[in-house]
Chain A
Amino acid sequence: MGHTITEKIILSHVPGLKEISPGDFVKAKIDLCLGNDITSPIAIKEFRELGKKKVFNQKRVVLVPDHFLPAKDMKSANQAKILKDFAEEFGISNYFELGEMGVEHALLPERGLIMPGDLMIGADSHTCTHGALGSFATGMGSTDLAYAMAFGECWLKVPETIQIRFTGKPKKWVGGKDLILQVIRDLGVSGALYKSLEFTGDTIEMLSMDDRMSMCNMAIEAGAKNGIIAPDKVTEKYVKAAIRKYKPARKTYTMVKSDKDAVYSDVREYNVSKLEPVVATPHLPSNGKPVSEIKDVKVDQVVIGSCTNGRISDLKQAAAVLKNKKVNPNTRLVVIPATQAIYLEAVKEGYAEIFVRAGGTFCTPSCGPCLGGHMGILHEGEVAVATTNRNFVGRMGHPKSFVYLSNPAVAAASAVRGIISHPSEV
């Protein structure tokens, strides 16, 4: 019997194990573990309780204080300092101070820290983003991170896999974000609970790594344990470029693919050639609708950024819509590139100037307002269109504010018109 890519990667990380099936509990070796300024302080406290003198591997622990940095208040500064002190004490080289720091799930792939075939855990639910590189990556909690830092392993239940097969060429202004919003619309927020979501089909081959990362990023919003895309030429080109540029400690990788006779718990097919941009209405990511069905929704704020859509091709799309346009006087535009490298490229390519001339802001990398942290919190009754991943009650500020999730082009168009809009309406 064949195996899925997820099963194969897990199997290859359990020493001595010969066979694997969904539902099995295993202790798997990890290649990488990740924490941020919210989840790491608890993990560090737990780690210290274990009394270990060192982490399992100084190069395989990554700490990124991206959530509340630049420190939004004294308490946040305190939390971030716990990471910095720990990194220094334990010789963790992959600690990213402000100035190098970026949104973790954009930063790690960019730096070549996560590789195809890897098994990675992160104390952040959107760790599933890294499945776009053909790795098994899943979010866990702080205690799991503490354990992983100490022993280089984690406990896992091997998930069943749902295959989502996409065919057809997406229309202009339709990208990975729309595909995944459509999938979550159909599956619901718990439709893939405890399962793996594997994205396949000829559409995937046409998508950039940025699009693929947007898709795997939101696998968790359907309840999934991981999202994953088998590595191909596009993946390999991206990985090789990262290795060349940043010379990470590990330079080898394994291209794993699902067997032809792999067993799936479900296979769903999508022809995306007619799909239009999808917008998830408040207060669940599963409330997706075609943008044309959303009429006259006034927008107070637009946020373009995050681990879902803060990458260079996202900013490029937004800039294409905003070029020579003005943000509506009743709307605020907040653009947040996900990393310093993306920031620089956006400056070099002229996108930053387009955003600022349009009357928007162009901020330093941070998770910012996505989780209601800082840099654009919503007032009672306010409506936001965001390229982020969650529109739960109170997610971006006041419990009585409203978040609509969209792709970057729809967000930019909505900023210009002041109501939720299709990019072709600008």
Chain B
Amino acid sequence: MKLKGKVHKFGNDINTDEIIPARYLNTSDPEELAQHCMEDADPEFPGKVEKGDIIVGGENFGCGSSREHAPISIKAAGVSCVIAESFARIFYRNCINIGLPIFTSPEAAQKIKQGDVVEVNVAKGEISKSGNKKVFKSEVFPKFIKDMITQGGLIESAKNKK
């Protein structure tokens, strides 16, 4: 699978309160959450994000709360994947569990700029700017996680489990 989208760039330590502020956590409806996605990091984001767009963050993206509403709001806003220098651990596993593709690549996260159009080869974990030959490699998922992703996430993979 290949993803292609326009980049919205954010800095280090983007936390879950910025991704989806708690004032909207009285619902778990993905569409409603999407309307406030990234609002406290960039109030204009919900209005300008388009289907397929890509979020690029710095270090420790998604730190803070365990709220799965954060990756859910990003996914429901139409964002195709998140690339960052590093991810906070609960956010990382939440993304895997709900099937939002994420890529850890310090080089890509540093070199890619706001507004760039980026292509991602999901299977190979390769990231490149559109029309540019330079390929940024992302960290390979451990086999354990890869298998889970292949099976469609934690719940899907568990449906036949006794």
B2-17 Cβ-contact flags toward A at 8 Å (1 or 0) = 0000000000010101
Say whether A50 faces chain B, with CB atoms less than 8 Å apart. Answer: yes
Give residues of chain A (77-123) contacting chain B, Cβ–Cβ below 8 Å.
78-79, 122-123
- Which single member of B28, B72, B158 contacts A147 (CB below 8 Å)? B158
Q: Does A253 contact B (CB under 8 A)?
A: no
Nearest B residue to A68, CB-CB: B26
| A141-B97, A393-B17, A394-B18 known; A223+B89 contact, CB < 8 A | yes
CB contacts (< 8 Å) of A164 on chain B: these are: none
For window 95-110 of B, CB contacts with A under 8 Å fall at 97-98
Q: Which of B42-80 contact A (CB under 8 A)?
A: 43, 59-60, 63-69, 72
CA distance A41 to B25 in the complex (A): 11
Chain B: minimal CB distance from A94 (Å):
19
How far is A34 from B28 in the complex, measured between Cα atoms in Å?
A: 18
Tell yes or no: B134 within 8 A of A by CB. Answer: no
**Could you tell me the distance in whole angstroms from the C-beta of A368 to the nearest C-beta in chain B?**
11
Within the assembled complex, what's the spacing in Å between the Cα atoms of A122 and B40?
Answer: 26
**CB distance A190 to B63 under 8 Å?**
yes
A168 interface residue (CB < 8 Å to B): no
Asked if B122 lies at the interface with its beta carbon under 8 angstroms from chain A, I say no
Measured between beta carbons, the chain A residues less than 8 angstroms from B144 are: 25, 155
Distance (Å) between the CB of B160 and the closest chain A CB? 10
B residues near A160, Cβ cutoff 8 Å: none
We find that the number of chain B residues with CB closer than 8 angstroms to chain A is 42
Q: Which residues of A contact B22 (CB under 8 A)?
A: 38, 371-373, 395
Contacts of A33 in B (CB 8 A): none
Cβ-defined partner of A190 (8 Å) among B86, B93, B154? B86
In the complex, B125 has a CB within 8 A of chain A: no
Residues of chain B contacted by A155 (CB below 8 angstroms)? 144, 148, 154
A377 to chain B, nearest CB (A): 8
> Which residues of chain A from 221 to 248 have any CB-CB distance to chain B below 8 Å in the complex?
223, 225
A143 to B91, CA, bound (A): 12
**Are the CB atoms of A190 and B59 closer together than 8 Å?**
yes
Q: Which residue of B lies closest to A49 (CB)?
A: B155
Q: Taking the nearest CB of chain B, how far is it from the CB of A391, in angstroms?
A: 10
Question: CB < 8 Å: which of A79, A124, A142, A284 contacts B13?
Answer: A284
CA distance A127 to B69 in the complex (A): 18
Question: Could you mark each residue 343-361 of chain A with 1 if its beta carbon is under 8 Å from any beta carbon of chain B, else 0?
Answer: 0000000000000000000
The chain A residue with its CB closest to the CB of B99 is A143
Contact of B68 with A372 in the complex, beta carbons under 8 Å? no
Q: Does B88 contact A (CB under 8 A)?
A: yes
Is the CB–CB distance between B161 and A151 below 8 Å?
Answer: yes
Chain A residues with CB under 8 Å of B17's CB are: 371-372, 390, 392-395
Q: How far is the CA of A127 from the CA of B65 in the complex (A)?
A: 10
> In the assembly, what is the distance between CA of A189 and CA of B59, in Å?
10
Q: Say yes or no for B23: interface residue by CB 8 A criterion.
A: yes
- Check if B88 sits within 8 Å of A79, measured CB to CB: no
A223 and B26 contacting across the interface, CB-CB below 8 Å: no
| Best-surrounded residue of B43, B68, B153 (most CB of chain A within 10 A) | B68
B138 at the interface (CB under 8 A from A): no
A166 smallest CB distance to B (angstroms): 25
**Interchain CB contact under 8 A, B94 and A45:** no
Closest to B96 in A: A143
Pick from B40, B60, B72: contact of A394, CB under 8 Å: B40
A189 in contact with B60 (CB, 8 Å): yes
B90 interfacial by beta-carbon distance below 8 Å: yes
Q: Is A19 an interface residue (CB 8 A)?
A: no
Taking CB atoms, residues of chain A closer than 8 Å to B13 are 189-190, 284
B94 CB contact (under 8 Å) in A75, A143, A193: A143
Please name all residues of chain B whose beta carbon is closer than 8 Å to the beta carbon of A405 when the two chains form the complex.
none
> Taking the complex as formed, is A213 at the interface, i.e. its CB lies under 8 A from any CB of chain B?
no
Asked if B131 is an interface residue, CB under 8 A from chain A, the answer is no
Which B residues touch A139, using CB under 8 A? 66, 90
With A124-B65, A125-B66 given, name 14 new contacts (CB 8 A): A38-B67, A42-B28, A49-B155, A73-B26, A140-B90, A141-B68, A141-B90, A142-B66, A143-B97, A143-B155, A147-B155, A372-B23, A390-B15, A393-B15
The 10 closest A-B pairs by CB, nearest first: A75-B26, A143-B97, A190-B60, A141-B94, A25-B144, A141-B68, A394-B40, A142-B68, A125-B66, A371-B22
Using a CB–CB distance below 8 Å, which chain A residues touch chain B?
Answer: 25, 38-39, 41-42, 45-46, 49-51, 67-68, 72-73, 75-76, 78-79, 122-125, 127, 139-144, 146-147, 150-151, 155, 157, 189-190, 193-194, 223, 225, 284, 371-373, 390, 392-395, 399
20 chain-A/chain-B pairs, Cβ below 8 angstroms: A42-B69, A46-B155, A50-B155, A73-B26, A75-B27, A123-B68, A125-B64, A125-B65, A139-B90, A142-B68, A143-B94, A144-B154, A189-B13, A189-B63, A190-B59, A190-B86, A193-B86, A193-B88, A372-B21, A394-B21
